Chain A
Amino acid sequence: MSHIQRFPSSAKAASTNPLKMSQPLGAALAYLGVDRCLPLFHGSQGCTAFGLVLLVRHFREAIPLQTTAMDQVSTILGGYDNLEQAIRTIVERNKPAMIGVATTGVTETKGEDMGGQYTLFRQRNPDIADTALVFANTPDFAGGFEDGFAAAVTAIVERLVEPSPVCIPTQVNVLAGSHLSPGDVEELRDIIEGFGLSPILLPDLSLSMAGRQPSGFTATSLGGVTVDQIRAMGASAATIVVGEHMRVAGNALELKTDVPSHFFSRLTGLEATDKLVRLLMELSGRPAPARLRRQRESLVDAMLDGHFFYSRKRIAVALEPDLLYAVAGFLADLGAEVVAAVSPTQSPVLERLKAATVMVGDHSDVETLARDADLIVSNSHGRQGAARIGVPLHRMGLPMFDRLGAGLRVQVGYRGSRELLCDIGNLFLAREMEHGSETHDHGEAHGCGGGSCGCNAV
């Protein structure tokens, strides 16, 4: 792969079968990882309805999400009144610990001054001073899902985290990017706790989006990192920043609290996980627990067993930038050839991506680029195009509305990497088995590595 073709922006006027989702949606997901939170879109009620349906279909969970219900008149006259009324109504009815506000295209086109409105709101409403309020600017017409998630996490850090005079040596912060599923976050917590450390994960989707069974009716998020925990992040010994889009929030946190941060571009794959484990050994002064050692052995073994099926496989990947970077990197590590890496939005990680073609595009671009690929890795929206060109699709990312347990998949750490390796490897293996039974021909064309696929080639 000597030459990499890069297309940093789409030349088309009509985005076709979009891969991109909007910023407020990303912000809503980040807010949902805070305990007893109610995300609020500052915009027309349709913005909320669409976002809600998408998240419900992906997580198969009730999604608390409200709207300031802007109409034509309030859009033109200014949205402060709607915002104030919405927040007051939510506090009265649902008593959340935090309300996370995300602007939309409507309020951003008008140019609502959110900083000013925050101050004004606090001045006029001293009676609800104990409800945390976080405002993030997330215009629909700029950036995308990942940027919105990042904006919300940064806003939470800037609004709530406080510097601390003491340091708790066993407490570690984790800024968990939007490419980590609730299952991934749970896995990360397990790994970190295995070293005797107590992590504060921001946001913590594993506690809110992993299938909770509430005892009563709740209109806010159930579980997640608490506001008090967020305030206490300044007392941690270190911050683990996962994903390029968490870098700004990581910097903000370090600037505010002097807690040193450690950056990880990805946590999928052997070397990436080794790097994390090395850091955790250093921070805790403890050896790696036996369970983690066994998991590493098991991943190494899966790599040995599985590499036959990955070598020179041509794969097109279309995902949000940081997940794209993690998955494309992991596949390349296993000997596959990433023929196309398609991102919905621009991001610094695209510069570092290694693929025959790296582009900002949509599912129709994937359809064109993946014509002679062996596999497409993308979200559920990729299924129509994949079917048209007859290339199998492995679903990752969001939305994944045609699979159960979409939010619970694990693809980080030794165990998660092994799961992902086996899931994708099995697709190749199944194809080769099919081919074997059709032709009974085990010539050079059948690249199973001499019977490793279970055929009788030896």
Chain B
Amino acid sequence: MSRADRLPGAERLKGLQGQPLAWHIALGIVAAAVLYLVTSSVSLYDNTIISEIAWYAIAIAGLSVLTGVSGQISLGHGAFMAVGAYGAGLMMEHFRLPLIVPILVGIAVATVLGAVVGLPATRLRGPYLAGVTLALALAAQDLPTKFSSLFNGDTGIIVNQATPPGGVNPERWLAWISLFGAIVTMIVLANFMKSRYGRALKAVRDDDIAAQASGLNPNRMRVLAFALAAGTAGLSGGLFALWSGIVNPNSFSLFLSIQLLAGMVIGGAGSLVGAWWGALALVYVPQWTNSVTSHFSSVSAITANVQGAIFGLLIIVVMMAAPTGIQGWLSGGYRRLRRGRSRTELEPVLPLDLDLSSTSTAPERTRP
């Protein structure tokens, strides 16, 4: 079929692609090796940026699975990040534990909240679910002020930097922690999408009554997807707490939730690679616009708003020019290139069933 088939060892590689877990772990190890080299060679400032990209990508990936695979919309994903950040932050403040424990606690609390929110979500569709999650995003901002003694109100809680083992810079150490979290998340999510749960979710998304007739429990699947996405956001929140050093209500405004949604759609809903495109856009577009506008204008009203304007414009342009997001556009182009077909025949529709191995030609295997 392709030239790769004739290369020695290609057979074994193809065999690996049939084993999703092994294949995803192999990809993860390669990514870890590459990222180790990257983090070691770039500046400490860039390492901070890498951490930021990592926690954005984690949250967006969870949201992407929720929307792309399960067909549910969450406009309040920042709220789950807040829960993870506060959970991890409070643990770090009150107990001296190895770093992994508070992070896991943050994930656990967010997962539980996700399951609780997911329960009414089983009955709600599209805009109704969007309404509930939107209200949740607003409420999450006010709760820390209400229970001020625990959450320290608007000031928030201070999170100490993770102490690195000797000889490693804190910034680099944080980048490693964040990237490790991101890679584990990607492996788990990629595997989840390939697993029978992922398939079941797609069935429920496409037609829940037919899925039910086939013996699936749509409600349970929806709650599962919501809890998974919330737990992912919880991890992202915990890493955010380490990254920013402070957790307060302002960090988790409605704008964060909207940013995550925008990042997901810009990257391509349902695609884990797309989550990284989205994270890159969320981090670099504001930086870039700031540096450009500081050259051209000194009126503060304008410079303060150019970033938002360009960000909004970017969302609109991507949605109109590449409706399946950057990843959808890229893989569409790749497929066009391979098959040499006309563009109109291959226009994919959202939600895309893309994942890490979407560009492989291996046939999907069902589990024995």
Is chain B found bound to chain A in the same assembly?
Answer: no
Hey, which bits of chain A sit against chain B, CB under 8 A?
A: none
Hey, which bits of chain B sit against chain A, CB under 8 A?
A: none
